[in-house]
Amino acid sequence: MILNIIFLLVSIIGVLGTLIPGLPGTPLILIAIIVYSFLTGFVVIGLETIVLLLVLVLLSQGVEYLTVFLSTKYFGGSKYGIVGSVVGGILALVVMGPIGLLLGPMLGAIIGEFLKGSSLREATKVGLGTFAGGIGASIFSFIIGVIIFLIILNRVLAVGI
């Protein structure tokens, strides 16, 4: 019973972690599922379900990274903007913590485009596009996280908390 509650709480933390761009919310849920399944002898959550959830996690992570890249390109970003968004995300994470993952890619894209020679207006457009892509990716990951959580909640409730 206590194991089920701990497992569900960690899963909820993972779902909430999807709302912060770049944080591995869905992988955290998957790790919790694998540990929980191992501890319960794969009776509550079987291998078939784990494979399904693994596919959802990979989809979520792939879409998250691809969305930021594509949104930067869509809003006119060059290689400089794309590299700037990646470098900005990493540096801002180190300097600003999790909130840096939200602002860093945008600022990095702006700086990258500005260094390339784009006008401040064009660079800002690319940065805002990168920001919008990050928000969209987080929403997608959140939805996938909620779906995963509902699947595992159904399994845990079937055996009783």
Kindly report, residue by residue over 41-97, the tens digit of the pLDDT. Answer: 999 999 999 999 999 999 998 888 888 788 988 999 999 999 998 899 889 878 887
Length of the chain: 161
- The pLDDT, as a whole number, for residue 103 is 87
Side-chain-facing half-sphere of 106: CA atoms under 13 Å: 15
> At 78, phi and psi to the nearest 5?
-100, -175
Please give the torsion angle defined by the CA atoms of residues 58, 73, 136 and 10, in that order, rounded to the nearest 10 degrees: 40
- Alpha carbon of residue 45 to chain centroid: 23
- The pLDDT, as a whole number, for residue 114 is 92
Is 21 a residue whose pLDDT tops 70? no
Look up residue 58 and give its amino acid: L
CA-to-CA distance for 120 and 143, rounded, in angstroms?
35
- Quote the strand ranges of the chain, DSSP E: none
* Domain ranges within the chain, ordered by starting residue: 2-159
pLDDT digit string (tens) for 111-158? 999 999 999 999 999 999 999 998 888 899 999 999 999 999 999 998
- The pLDDT, as a whole number, for residue 86 is 86
Is 98 a residue whose pLDDT tops 90? no
Residue pair 111/88 in contact by the 8 Å Cβ criterion: yes
Per-residue confidence band for 22, with pLDDT thresholds at 50, 70 and 90: low
pLDDT digit string (tens) for 25-35? 999 999 999 99
